[in-house]
Amino acid sequence: MSLASGAFEPTRLRVRYAETDQMGRAHHMHYLAWFELGRTDLLRAAGVAYSKIEQEGVKLPVSHVEIEYRGPVRYDELVDVYTRVSGVRSRTVTFTYLAVRAETGDELAAGSTRLVCTDDKGKPRRIPPHLIDVLESLKANAHAWPES
């Protein structure tokens, strides 16, 4: 991912057997784990390791999620998760996601998660300035979704 160009690579994953349910599709709860991979990868591409953030006493628990499911995805299919920063405030950041079937480009789900910044004890605090800068930069350079 290049912040300058706005180009970026989605997070690619393969649907695990353990993620399917008896309807024969990935159970809807796993999309939240996939989106989490997407934002970890987006931050990593911008030079920020979320694991490091936590070691510095900054936690980012999820305070709101919304997902619209547009079609099923099955075991062993490849999924691309596109992620961008859509909102940055002093204490919260919002990521939005688009999951598509890698082979066909079909949209599987669109969603968002809002994260709130806390200290080690779970008390709300401001997002550290260096992280705000990265998030603002990601937001400013947010790419269009692939289908646009």
* Separation in Å, CA 144 to CA 2, 55, 59: 14, 32, 28
Q: x-or-dash pattern for a copy of itself, window 85-124, by CB under 8 A?
A: -------------------------------------x--
Q: x-or-dash pattern for a copy of itself, window 35-64, by CB under 8 A?
A: -xx--x--------xxx--x----x-xxxx
- Residue from 16, 91, 126, 130 binding a copy of itself (CB under 8 A): 16
Please tell me whether residue 106 adopts helix, strand or coil conformation: coil
Please tell me whether residue 12 adopts helix, strand or coil conformation: strand
Q: How far is the CB of 122 from a copy of itself (least distance, A)?
A: 6
97, β-bridge pairs? 83, 111
- Using CA atoms, how far apart are residues 63 and 40, in angstroms rounded to an integer? 17
Report whether 12 contacts 80 (CB < 8 A). yes
Q: How far is the CB of 84 from a copy of itself (least distance, A)?
A: 19
The contact set with a copy of itself (CB under 8 A) reads 14, 16-25, 27-30, 32-33, 36-37, 40, 49-51, 54, 59, 61-69, 72, 74-76, 122
